[in-house]
Structure 1
Amino acid sequence: MRGVPPTVLRALVCGALLVLPSCGWGAPSAGQGERLPGAPLGVTAAAGSATSVHVMWNLAEEDPPVTHYEVYRGNTKVAEVPGAEHMVDVTRLKPSTGYVFTVRARNSAGASGPPSKRVRATTPAAVTADRTPPTRPGSPRGKAVGSRAAQLSWTRSTDKGGVASYDVYQGGSKIHSVGGAQTATVVTGLRPGTAYAFTVRARDTSDNTSPPSETVRLTTAPGSDDGRGTAPTAFRATTHRADGAYYIDLSWVAPPVDGVISEYQIHLDGRAATSLVWGGNPPHGTATYSFYVGRTADETHRVRIRAKLPDGTWGGFSAQRSVTTGG
Structure 2
Amino acid sequence: MAQPEVVQRVSARRPRPARVRFNRREAVAGYLFISPWLVGFLVFTAGAMIYSLVISFSHYNLATNAAVPAGLSNYQGLVQDPRVATALGNTLFYALLAVPLEIAFALLLASLLNGIGRGAGAFRTLYYLPRMTPLVATAAVFFLLLNGNTGAINQGLRAFGIAGPQWLVDPTWIKPSIVLMQLWAVSGTMVIFLAALKNVPRELYEVASLDGAGPVRRFFSITLPMISSAMFFNVIVLTIAAFQVFDQAYLLFWRDQSNSSPEASLFYAVYLFQQAFRQFNFGFAAAMAWLLFVIIMIVTFVQMRFGNRLVYYEGDR
Query: What is the TM-score normalised by the length of structure 2?
Result: 0.21
Q: Which has the higher helix share?
A: 2
Query: What is the TM-score normalised by the length of structure 1?
Result: 0.21
Q: Which has the higher strand share?
A: 1
Structure scoring higher RCO (CA < 8 A, sep ≥ 6) equals 2
Max Rg structure: 2
